[in-house]
Structure 1
Amino acid sequence: MRGAVLYAATAAIGLLMTAGCGGGDEPPAGPKLTVGIRFDQPGLGMRAPDGGYTGFDVDVAEYVAERLGTDKRNITYVEARPADREAMLEQRKADMVVATYSITETRRQRVDFAGPYFVAGQSLLVRKTNSDIDGPESLNDSDWRLCSVTGSTPAQQVQATYAHSVTLDQRSSYRECVEAVLNGEVDAVTTDDVILAGYAAQQPDKLKVVGKPFSTEHYGIGLRKGDNRRAKVTEALRAMLADGSWDRFVRDNLGGYQVSSRPEIVDSP
């Protein structure tokens, strides 16, 4: 009997030692990456209640990471708010930013981009009962209250084009803007149509996207200035489009969103 007990105890210790040596859900050996994504954009970049991450940008990040030799279990996701993205890269808080990050000349002064991997356009989200705002032309008719996110390209576009007729309320997330439009604090949310489509799909009885896009936004993967991985990231994005993965990521994440055009990956966006 003593022998059986000793054998069972030895076997249990062996199992514990095996579990502590890389089994289970522990990340595998290999290179690690810290990737900045959005946590509040349905279909694009969302943090789930269980701590997981889903969305088109997440799938793109994991595809590119695999091409760079990083298992997706070795990716650490951090929230990349619009106003923080350049600083995150410069301060090495993220290796890449895949967060509906529009490529602009101003941003290229501070960071490098690979891509573009998606093309979107700025639009408007309003309450379902709102019939007064039906597109960008409506913004010239009255002193509308618009909400967008601090540091975002759409916020800058509104300030540059509609400052004479629009009051802009800048908040820290689009989730806050959507809540504000539902509560009647603002008349519309403005950002890229693909982002707004995700929120409208969550509450189709309360929200709608109106009008045609009034800008063209090319999303790129942000990298630190001079990062020598840019060529490999560019190659990975081309492979993603060529092997059908891009189309699958769109279908899996963006539902009924109508893609206007497939992106064309360039060497120096």
Structure 2
Amino acid sequence: MSRTRIALAVSAAAVVLAAAACAPQPESDTGAAASGSPDCTANSPGLHKRGQLTVATDSPAYAPWFEDNTPSNGKGFESAVAYAVAGKLGFAQDQVKWVVEPFAHSYAPGAKNFDFDINQISVTPQRAQAVDFSASYYTADQAVLTLDDSGFAKATSLGALKDARIGVQVATTSYQAVLDQLKPSRQPSVFNTTNDEVNALKNGQIDAIVTDLPTVFYLAGSELDNAKIVGQFGYAGGTPEEFGLLLPKDSKFTTCVNQALGALRSDGTLAKLTSQWLSASANVPELKP
């Protein structure tokens, strides 16, 4: 899966203020909120349900983003990030409630039953018309996965993949990345789930899968016995693809989440979690046109 936006700049001073503003404090230590400051406490009226942080993702939830299809266990990059954000906001682990939200539904207009959704959702201007996005918590390249015996296994450029039958997942930005960067001679095949893509590759219906690099690593290591990671590529002009937390449009909690992410970036937590769960991006060749 894959997902672009201009990241919000968070100054060191703002991060310090964020931690103070967001963490619930003992009543005796809590003064009057500054005019216009967001209420980032567990009792905030901006929450979907007061007293808990409601977090959404799709099901099944795949590694390395989640482990054992159990978002609530804190394992996997996105589960760990969600709980880290919750912690910066002052929520205990048992105050985090997970709900299921299909990927393609998450950025559709309308009411939401969550405070934020974390599901490798790329920030795009089109999606941002209907929902709010946080600052980026991960920047991802696309990658090409095929089989060892494929005629495209030894491709060293995007041009060498022009005639490949490419598979992508529905409603992801991988589809547009394929059109813009690979410029294939035939339309990509679109599948509902990652499992459908893998089965199509195994059955010879497609020659390669294009999705984000961490997911390619997972598929190559866990779902396919004879997988070959052909290479990775970014976007024209060097514009990164960034994943953001998705919130309801005009959510009163968007500022709170951005403050929490700023604090996690400043104190090194995001870098640490990225290294822990998504560390295998080295030694993958970059595919040029």
Q: TM class by shorter-chain length? A: 0.7 to 0.9
Give 2:110's aligned residue: 90
The 1-side partners of 2:103 and 2:197 are apart by: 14
TM-score, with structure 2 as normaliser: 0.70
What are the ranges of 5 or more consecutive residues in structure 1 without an aligned counterpart?
Answer: 1-29, 261-269
User: Following TM superposition, by how much is the alpha carbon of 1:51 offset from its aligned partner in structure 2, in angstroms?
Assistant: 7.9
2:76 counterpart of 1:58: no
The 1-side partners of 2:203 and 2:93 are apart by: 39
More strand by share: 1
TM-score, with structure 1 as normaliser: 0.74
The 2-side partners of 1:77 and 1:122 are apart by: 28
Out of 205, 219, 222, the position equivalent to 2:243 is 219
The 1-side partners of 2:143 and 2:167 are apart by: 12
2:192 counterpart of 1:168: no
CA 185–76 in structure 1, closer or farther in 2 if over 3 Å, else same: farther
The 2-side partners of 1:132 and 1:96 are apart by: 39
Give 2:30's aligned residue: none
What are the ranges of 5 or more consecutive residues in structure 2 without an aligned counterpart?
Answer: 1-49, 285-289
Write out per-residue CA displacement over residues 81-128 of structure 1, whole angstroms, 9 at most, x where no aligned residue: 3311113x8322222011111111101111111111111112211112
User: Identity, % of aligned pairs?
Assistant: 25
User: Following TM superposition, by how much is the alpha carbon of 1:220 offset from its aligned partner in structure 2, in angstroms?
Assistant: 0.7
Give 1:4's aligned residue: none
Out of 123, 137, 158, the position equivalent to 1:136 is 158
**Which is higher, the Rg of structure 1 or of structure 2?**
1
More helix by share: 1
CA 43–108 in structure 1, closer or farther in 2 if over 3 Å, else same: same
The 2-side partners of 1:194 and 1:259 are apart by: 13
Out of 256, 266, 275, the position equivalent to 1:232 is 256
Q: What's the RMSD between the two structures over aligned residues?
A: 2.7
Q: Is the 8 A contact 1:31 1:69 kept in 2?
A: no
Per the alignment, in what secondary structure is the counterpart of residue 276 of structure 2?
helix
The 1-side partners of 2:180 and 2:75 are apart by: 33
CA 258–98 in structure 1, closer or farther in 2 if over 3 Å, else same: farther
Per the alignment, in what secondary structure is the counterpart of residue 130 of structure 1?
coil
Give 1:7's aligned residue: none
Q: Is the 8 A contact 2:123 2:133 kept in 1?
A: yes
CA 60–189 in structure 1, closer or farther in 2 if over 3 Å, else same: same
- Mean CA deviation greater in 37-46 or 211-220: 37-46
How many residue pairs were aligned? 228
